[in-house]
Chain A
């Protein structure tokens, strides 16, 4: 059961200018879909659970591996071999017993992915490959659902917010194309532990802003942890985008 938004847990949100009781209530009623509970997903889920997002659906078919532990703090050595979403759901329920957490240990695609996206107020892309990212983006465009995209590798990360007005604004596919390929993955190129957490926490902020109607969505933000540099870029709608151009 959700406690009243004025309980002590929410005190700093209630007292926050431009947030207050109304946004706190909207956050309590929000449903956030998180695809991937790895480095970015762990941080996003932990921040959203702590903040009191009412329902979190966690999707990941992967199991905890020892190589995850340096950047995925929801997991401990005792969890190695267990489904990530099951472990994460247990930890997050301890963190905030008042929210609903729905773990799904599967790879969502097609109609199942579209249905999961449609049921959510916002989707967070915490996956680790372009194929999954393109599939989630298409489901978001098809259902008119906002997408918060985050990624991390080596010393760097990226965050961007798309939709839900895809008729007049770009989608993820406008930014990346089928030609794009990751230079490497976390296994091949490595990643510094806190970089995905930095990105995942920013994704949680963008998700909260989206579901509560507060703030302004971030532009495409690039982070280089090796120098501490941030760059923010505009993304234009691609008139030839195969996903959103006809919207």
Chain B
């Protein structure tokens, strides 16, 4: 079991109803972690409408997550 610090930015803060939370998880990668948070996001596939960073570096959804990681979820923005 890993302990992950999940932080929600902007739109995802509103959707999650919190700034952050500490999650106990067996997820091996960012996508599996996100899916365990599905209830908070109301969707089962974040790809395309959510970006992820691990320890302040942008990551892919198949990037591994490790005990103690800080995972940030934030929305893509293209408006000008």
Q: Which residues of A contact B (CB under 8 A)?
A: 36, 38-41, 125-130, 133, 150-158, 175-176, 179-183, 185-186, 189, 191, 196, 220, 222, 224, 226-227, 229, 231-236
Contact = CB atoms under 8 A, between A and B. Distances in A.
B76 A176 contact: yes
Given A181-B48, A222-B9, A234 B79 contact: no
Interface string B8-37: 011101000000000000000000000000
A180 B10 contact: no
B72 A151 contact: no
B57 A233 contact: yes
Interface residues of B, number: 20
Given A183-B49, A233-B58, A41 B10 contact: no
A151 B80 contact: yes
Contact of A152 (B51, B72, B76, B79): B79
Determine which residue in B10, B11, B49 has the highest number of CB atoms from chain A within 10 A of its CB, and name it. B10
B11 to A, nearest CB: 7
Given A181-B49, A234-B57, A40 B74 contact: no
A233 B10 CA distance: 15
23 contacts: A38-B80, A39-B79, A125-B80, A127-B80, A128-B78, A130-B78, A133-B78, A153-B75, A153-B79, A154-B10, A158-B77, A180-B48, A180-B49, A181-B48, A181-B76, A182-B76, A182-B78, A185-B78, A185-B79, A186-B79, A224-B10, A233-B72, A235-B57
A227 B10 CA distance: 8
